[in-house]
Structure formats: structure tokens, C-alpha cells
């Protein structure tokens, strides 16, 4: 089965456990009406307006059908550019929309059956009729939710599908693409694609698609970061050594004994405890593909002022660029926030990792270590105090 229909009980059209067992990172699944009669929380004009902002990560892909040529342009764009694009064959894409729009971010709650730290972002694309980014392959899991209009999706599920790229375009487009399945998705329909599946989406009419991307670091990225972590902790005098060296037959040979000594010199990673590995990975994964810089406020309240404001109905709002996770360490826990780690109780770590807002009730449940961490994060701009509104007279 590669196509299903959502029900009131199962928005994936099947139990989550079955989806994870049979589809996740294995094969595609089309879910009809995963979000019944979905209404996009923003308009194409809203998306275009954001694409004009310096801080937004936006792209334009334009296809010349007669020449079969593709043009990629990076934002920000000027408003006057959009009317000149014509009525077909172009696509606007804006990354990190879950950070810019709270209603878009609310979609992520539906995907909490997956580790939240696996989520990269929600990208939104608007395409004029015929608009596309061409047939390609992604190296991450993605849920493609049709939010407005209609898009035709084609995929190739053959295990030996060609994956060579065209040499004549800036985009990594497939030289050959022969679809095995084809559908037209309307508002509320959603297509799940695991990594490595060739696919091609083309707008039937003016449409918007939300792409919930679950990106994971490559093994190379993990190895490089771990090596830097270990190297930073090693003193300069920790070197390759060869005491007890015996006479060699050929001074130019790298023999088995030399390689054994190399293993000894590189054994630092083998000596890492589970807690050390957890601490490194938590810090790494919460800064992986960071959306942008978070700057500290010029002046921040202390904890006493925060407690007073919360008691009066205020709220601590977490910066949308913050990535967080937690891990057990014995009976305690570590909270990871944008590459930093903080020791605290288990309940406090769970609370701070999962909530975008901290109110009086949440604050009351935090232990002393968590409050100290929260004060530090507040000073660094990771949280902002929203004071209660004064009643009108």
C-alpha cells in the first residue's frame, strides 16, 4: 500500500506505530486528507512580503520550457520584481517559516510522534501554474502538505532509479526521471517521502505547499564535530608515541606496529562515557543547521522581576530560532539549548525543552538549577519577557 486516507483516529491513515515500522525511512506514503479541508494560515502575498526581508532565507526558481533551462535566484527580493515574473513556470520558496509564523509552527505538534530535534524546518513554496523546482532527490525525510491549490507529484520508487545530475543547471536536477507513481494533491492531502526517492512536483494551478523537513546530519558531519570536540580537550603534549621502538628492516615502511600505536593515539573517542557522548550530541544537534543568530537584549530582568511579572499574568516567550532537547543523566537530566548544556532535574528539563512559553504555573515547577539556566538564557536573548497588559481605563 502506497496510498491511504486519513481518519479521525489516524491522521496518517494508519496507526503511527505501523507508519514507523513500515514506511518511515523506507517507502513513500500518500495520505489523502491528512488535514481535512486545510486552510493556509497565510497568503501568497504574505510569503512574498517575507521574501523581501533581509533576514528571511528565500529563493526563486524559474523554468524556461522552450529552452528547458532553469534559473535560481536568492533573496531578498524587491516587491516590484514579482509582477514581472509572469503567470506561469516560477516558484518562490521560503525556509524556516515555522520560526516566522506561529500558526505555521503549530503544525509541528502533529509530528510529535517523531523526535522534535529531528525537525529541520517548515519550508513554504508558492508556485504559479507550471511552477516547479524540477525532478530531484532529497537526503532527508519530508512531509509535503498541500495547503492551497493543486500540485501534481510524480515519484520513482524503483530501487535502481537513475540519480545522476544535469551538468547544465545550478540546481541539482536529475538527468533522467521516469515516474512510477503520479497523483494530484489538493488542500489537506500530504505526501511522505523518505530520503533518496526521486520526485517531481508541478503546480496545476497557483498553489502553496508546506514541506516539513526532517533533516539529519551526515556521518561525515558527526565525525568532524566529534573530532573537534575531542581535539579541543586534548593537551598539546598528547601525541603519537613509540617507546620501545625496535630496529626496522625498511625505514620507509609503515608497519603493523606503527598502526597499532596510531590506534592508541586515536583512542580518545573510545574512552568517552555515555554521559560525555550524550552531552556532546545534545549540544551538537541543537546547534545543527541553526536558523540564525540570537542577540542578547540590551537590558534583561532578573529572576525576581520575572517571577513578579509572571504572577501578574506575564509570559516568558522562547525565541523562535531556539532549538532544544534533553537527555537523562542518571537521576538528573541535561537540557540542551542551541549548543549549550545545563544540568537540572528531569521534570524541569522536560518542561523547558518542550514549551515555547513559560507562565507562572510552569515557572513554579522549575527547580533551582533550571531557574538559574533560565536566567542565563534570558540574558542571552533566548527568552523574552512579555509583561501583562495594563487594563484600559
Give the tens place of pLDDT for each residue, 282-320: 999 999 888 788 988 788 899 999 999 999 999 999 999
* CATH code, domain with 320: 3.40.366.30
Q: 317 and 252, same structural domain?
A: no
313 within domain boundaries:
yes
282 within domain boundaries:
no
- State how many domains the chain has: 3
284 within domain boundaries:
no
pLDDT at 393: 60
pLDDT at 289: 83
Q: 249 and 210, same structural domain?
A: no
Position 53 confidence tier, pLDDT thresholds 50, 70, 90: very high
* Residue 140, φ and ψ in degrees, nearest 5: -150, 160
Position 1 confidence tier, pLDDT thresholds 50, 70, 90: confident
Q: Of 45-49, 115-119, 291-295, which gets the smallest average pLDDT? A: 291-295
Q: 192 and 116, same structural domain?
A: yes
Q: Where is the domain boundary, 214, 232, 248?
A: 214
**Single pTM value for the model:** 0.92
Q: 111 and 29, same structural domain?
A: yes
In terms of phi and psi (left: phi > 0; alpha: psi -120 to 50; beta: otherwise), the region of 297 is beta
Q: Where is the domain boundary, 183, 214, 245?
A: 214
Q: 248 and 129, same structural domain?
A: no
Q: 197 and 234, same structural domain?
A: no
8 within domain boundaries:
yes
pLDDT at 298: 81
Position 133 confidence tier, pLDDT thresholds 50, 70, 90: very high
The mean pLDDT value for 185-206 works out to: 98
Query: Across the chain, what does the average pLDDT equal?
Result: 94
132 within domain boundaries:
yes
Answer whether residue 373 shows pLDDT above 70.
yes
pLDDT at 297: 79
Q: 32 and 69, same structural domain?
A: yes
83 within domain boundaries:
yes
Position 241 confidence tier, pLDDT thresholds 50, 70, 90: very high
Answer whether residue 392 shows pLDDT above 70.
no
pLDDT at 42: 97
CA torsion through residues 272, 277, 283, 289, sign: positive
Q: 223 and 208, same structural domain?
A: no
Answer whether residue 391 shows pLDDT above 70.
no
Q: 333 and 382, same structural domain?
A: yes
The mean pLDDT value for 324-345 works out to: 96
d(CA 254, CA 191): 53
* CATH code, domain with 65: 2.60.120.650
pLDDT at 63: 97
Q: 232 and 155, same structural domain?
A: no
267 within domain boundaries:
yes
* Residue 308, φ and ψ in degrees, nearest 5: -65, -45
pLDDT at 143: 98
The tens digit of pLDDT for each residue in 139-166 reads: 999 999 999 999 999 999 999 999 999 9
Q: 133 and 49, same structural domain?
A: yes
392 within domain boundaries:
no
Residue 138 belongs to domain spanning: 3-214
Map the chain to HEC letters. Answer: CCEEECCCCCCCCCCHHHHHHHCCCCCCEEEECCCCCCCCCCCHHHHHHHHCCCCCCEEEEEEECCCCEEEEEECCCCHHHHHHHCCCCEEEEECCHHHHCHHHHHHHHHHCCCCHHHCCEEEEEEECCCCECCCECCCCEEEEEEEECCEEEEECCCCCCCCCECCCCCCCCECCCCCCEEEEECCCCEEEECCCCCEEEEECCCEEEEEEEECCCCHHHHHHHHHHHHHHHCCCCCCCCCCCCCCCCCCCCCCHHHHHHHHHHCHHHHHCCHHHHHHHHHHHHCCCCCCCCCCCCCCCCCHHHHHHHHHCCCEEEECCCCCEEEEEECCEEEEEECCEEEEEEHHHHHHHHHCCEECHHHHHCCCHHHHHHHHHHHHCCCEEEECCCCCCC
Q: 228 and 86, same structural domain?
A: no
Q: Where is the domain boundary, 186, 214, 242?
A: 214
d(CA 171, CA 138): 12
Answer whether residue 276 shows pLDDT above 90.
yes
Amino acid at each position: 500500500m502506497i496510498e491511504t486516507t486519513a481518519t479521525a483516529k489516524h491522521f496518517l491513515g494508519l496507526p503511527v506505530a505501523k507508519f514507523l515500522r513500515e514506511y518511515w525511512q523506507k517507502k513513500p506514503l500518500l495520505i489523502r486528507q491528512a488535514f481535512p479541508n486545510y486552510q493556509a494560515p497565510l497568503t501568497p502575498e504574505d510569503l512574498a512580503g517575507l521574501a523581501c526581508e533581509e533576514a528571511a532565507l528565500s529563493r526563486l526558481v524559474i523554468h524556461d520550457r522552450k529552452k528547458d533551462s532553469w534559473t535560481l535566484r536568492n533573496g531578498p527580493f524587491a516587491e516590484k520584481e514579482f509582477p514581472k515574473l509572469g503567470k506561469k513556470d516560477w516558484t518562490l520558496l521560503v525556509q524556516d517559516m515555522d520560526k516566522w509564523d506561529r500558526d505555521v509552527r503549530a503544525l509541528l505538534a502533529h509530528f510529535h510522534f517523531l523526535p522534535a530535534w529531528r525537525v529541520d524546518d517548515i519550508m513554504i513554496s508558492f508556485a504559479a501554474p507550471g511552477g516547479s523546482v524540477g525532478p530531484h532527490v532529497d537526503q532527508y525525510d519530508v512531509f509535503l502538505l498541500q495547503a492551497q491549490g493543486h500540485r501534481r507529484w510524480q515519484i520513482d520508487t524503483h530501487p535502481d532509479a537513475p540519480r545522476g545530475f544535469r551538468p547544465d543547471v545550478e540546481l541539482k536536477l536529475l538527468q533522467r526521471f521516469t515516474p512510477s507513481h503520479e497523483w494530484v494533491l489538493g488542500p489537506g492531502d500530504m505526501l511522505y517521502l523518505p530520503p533518496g526517492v526521486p520526485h517531481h512536483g508541478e503546480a496545476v494551478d497557483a498553489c502553496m505547499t508546506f514541506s516539513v523537513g526532517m533533516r539529519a546530519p551526515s556521518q561525515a558531519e558527526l565525525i568532524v564535530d566529534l573530532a573537534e570536540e575531542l581535539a579541543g580537550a586534548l593537551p598539546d603534549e598528547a601525541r603519537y608515541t613509540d617507546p620501545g621502538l625496535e630496529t626496522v628492516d625498511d625505514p620507509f615502511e609503515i608497519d603493523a606496529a606503527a598502526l597499532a600505536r596510531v590506534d592508541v593515539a586515536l583512542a580518545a573517542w573510545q574512552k568517552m562515557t555515555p554521559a560525555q557522548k550524550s552531552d556532546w550530541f545534545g549540544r551538537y544537534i541543537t546547534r545543527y543547521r541553526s536558523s540564525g543568530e540570537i542577540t542578547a537584549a540590551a537590558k534583561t530582568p532578573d529572576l525576581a522581576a520575572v517571577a513578579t511579572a509572571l504572577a501578574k499574568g506575564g509570559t516568558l516567550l522562547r525565541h523562535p530560532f531556539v532549538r532544544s532537547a534533553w537527555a537523562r543523566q542518571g537521576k538528573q537530566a541535561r537540557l540542551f539549548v542551541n549548543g549549550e548544556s545545563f544540568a537540572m532535574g528531569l521534570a524541569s528539563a522536560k518542561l523547558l525543552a518542550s514549551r515555547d512559553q513559560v507562565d507562572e504555573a510552569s515557572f513554579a515547577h522549575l527547580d533551582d538549577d533550571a531557574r538559574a539556566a533560565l536566567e542565563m538564557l534570558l540574558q542571552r536573548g533566548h527568552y523574552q519577557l512579555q509583561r501583562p497588559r495594563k487594563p484600559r481605563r
